[in-house]
Amino acid sequence: EAGVAQSPRYKIIEKRQSVAFWCNPISGHATLYWYQQILGQGPKLLIQFQNNGVVDDSQLPKDRFSAERLKGVDSTLKIQPAKLEDSAVYLCASSFTGTTYNEQFFGPGTRLTVL
């Protein structure tokens, strides 16, 4: 079975520019997570989708970050405008369902560098 796909793998931008990341979860997985992992820290949940609805976005900086999940499958995370402190790895993960335990599978991540 194909894993969670993310693109791009690396992105370098200047502050105040915009950037978008794409995630394709494992087929059939209803729950999709976006995490921010700053160097030396553990992943921090930014947003969680159940199908195409948002379950939790309490830690998403909504003044600059936005995310959507089209038709309950692929998802895009956007930052506009980027700040230096947004430099991090952005991880996407998916699981079959969020309502009971099911293993969470991670993608390879996108490393963002903001100059």
Binding site for other proteins (CB under 8 A): 31, 33, 40-45, 48, 55-56, 89, 91, 93, 98-101, 103-104, 106-109, 111
Contact between residue 37 and residue 104 where contact means Cβ atoms under 8 Å apart: no
The pair of three-digit structure tokens given for residue 7, joined into one six-digit string = 């693109």
CB of 13 to other proteins, least distance (A): 20
Measured from the CB atom, the residue of 20 and 55 that comes closer to other proteins is 55
Measured from the CB atom, the residue of 19 and 93 that comes closer to other proteins is 93
How do beta strands 110-114 and 10-13 pair?
parallel
Contact between residue 23 and residue 107 where contact means Cβ atoms under 8 Å apart: yes
CB of 48 to other proteins, least distance (A): 7
**Token pair 């995630």: residue:** 23
DSSP character for 85?
G
CB of 16 to other proteins, least distance (A): 27
